[in-house]
Amino acid sequence: MFTEADALERDLADPGHRELFHVPPAEGGRYAETAYLAGNSLGLQPRATRGDLLDDLDAWARLGVEGHLDAARPWLPYHEFLTGTAARLVGALPQETVVMNSLTVNLHLLMVSFYRPTGTRTKIVIEDTAFPSDSYAVRSQARFHGLDPDATVVRLDPADVLSYLAHEGHEVALVLLGGVNYLTGELMDIPAITRAGHEAGALVGWDLAHAAGNVPLELHEWGPDFAAWCSYKYLNAGPGALGGVFVHERHLGDPAVQRFEGWWSTEPATRFEMTPVSRPPATADAWQISNPPIYAMGPVRTSLEIFDRAGMAALRARSTRLTGYLETLLDELPITVVTPRDPARRGSQLSLRVGGGSAHELARRLRFEFGVITDAREPDIVRAAPVPLYCTYHDCWRLADALAHVIEEVR
């Protein structure tokens, strides 16, 4: 039943938007293109990115400094061209959203505002499988406040977060979890954990690196205090692309909320009055500091517009079908999927546990012998994400077919 012909038929019946992307050529195997299943790590390049970027670059050549106001997409308000699409992507109000900096920098800037340890309420809750960068970030925040990171940062199994908050929540200043876990691909119950954190009197932030562009989000309605994400994974804006930030409406314009400021934190209309005191707007733009890198912002704009046109609901529906199909194929093989089986508790990514510490060897063979791109993560996980914008049923079939050939050899 799960033949190659069947996969190709499914692609005809349920196409994505592959034509909008550059798919890298395969480095091995019998197909011209890679089966690219690493969009959870670095998304593919939209075909429109190069032309859009060159237009912005040409404006500088033609206009010099006058491009700030006179470019077709003027640089002064450039970040605002990304706000609407970014806000729709994460279910936020436009005033709650801004694209700026990179993810971990933004987490720090947001913790300046929302990690304010006082008295016995000092703890930061993260997940025990947190991405290391997030762990480093919160530990350094604890030290910055003169606290012992080992005593301040509480690492929990995600399944234990709700009961911990119910019993020990009075000591928690901040809950900061990944919306979709980078290693297991598990989608957290963001609304429930947010509610429980708030009931415990804590503030709640989400790292949406693996969630933005992967699963539908309703940040305004779910009510976390803040969130941050990057744009180079599911969002296809290129290596090191700028991140996005959400600050809930309830904190906007609140003078009690601390922020670090620069000239981009102030009301644009007053920016050039050259006064010594800023007048921040009651929007997430107030968290900006510097004038933004236009040529890093352009690819985010191009990519967000693709998401806006495709629609997150339609992408989620295709993602559920594609990932479910891949799961069915993998179930035929001697391999363990550690990602939750319930489609409501995951996004595109399936994480496969490979015995014998051979995950890197497996990913290498898949790439060079079969033209299938996955990635390996310590200690024993291979991640594969059939992302709905550009992956195909045939990509999924190729992964399963390749695994069937090599899995016994690398175990």
CB of 230 to ligand PLP, least distance (A): 4
Task: Tell me: is residue 104 an annotated ligand-binding position.
Answer: yes
For residues 202 and 369, give the distance between their C-alpha atoms in angstroms, rounded to a whole number.
Answer: 50
C-alpha distances in angstroms, 50 versus 212, 268, 392? 23, 29, 24
Of 149, 107, 146, whose CA–CA distance to 124 is shortest?
149
CB of 138 to ligand PLP, least distance (A): 11
Task: Tell me: is residue 293 an annotated ligand-binding position.
Answer: no
Task: Tell me: is residue 103 an annotated ligand-binding position.
Answer: yes
Task: Tell me: is residue 198 an annotated ligand-binding position.
Answer: no
Residue matched to tokens 């592959």: 18
Q: Where are the beta strands (DSSP E) in 198-342?
A: 203-207, 226-229, 243-247, 336-337
Task: Tell me: is residue 101 an annotated ligand-binding position.
Answer: no
User: What number of other Cβ atoms are within 10 A of residue 149's Cβ?
Assistant: 16
Nearer to ligand PLP, 11 or 134 (CB): 134
Q: Cβ distance 372 to 399 under 8 Å?
A: yes
C-alpha distances in angstroms, 339 versus 48, 146, 163, 408? 33, 38, 22, 21
CB of 68 to ligand PLP, least distance (A): 27
For residues 75 and 81, give the distance between their C-alpha atoms in angstroms, rounded to a whole number.
Answer: 10
CB of 104 to ligand PLP, least distance (A): 3
Task: Tell me: is residue 40 an annotated ligand-binding position.
Answer: no
CB of 81 to ligand PLP, least distance (A): 22
Nearer to ligand PLP, 171 or 207 (CB): 207
Site residues (vs ligand PLP, CB under 6 A): 102-104, 131, 133-134, 178, 182, 207, 209-210, 230
C-alpha distances in angstroms, 145 versus 137, 140, 149, 152? 13, 9, 10, 10
Nearer to ligand PLP, 133 or 278 (CB): 133
For residues 38 and 163, give the distance between their C-alpha atoms in angstroms, rounded to a whole number.
Answer: 34
Task: Tell me: is residue 272 an annotated ligand-binding position.
Answer: no
Task: Tell me: is residue 152 an annotated ligand-binding position.
Answer: no
For residue 316, report the phi and psi dihedrals to the nearest 5 degrees.
-60, -40
Nearer to ligand PLP, 154 or 176 (CB): 176
Nearer to ligand PLP, 67 or 185 (CB): 185
CB of 243 to ligand PLP, least distance (A): 6
Nearer to ligand PLP, 105 or 404 (CB): 105
Annotated binding site: 103-104, 131-134, 207, 210, 232, 263, 291
Binding residues for pyridoxal 5'-phosphate: 103-104, 131-134, 207, 210, 232, 263, 291
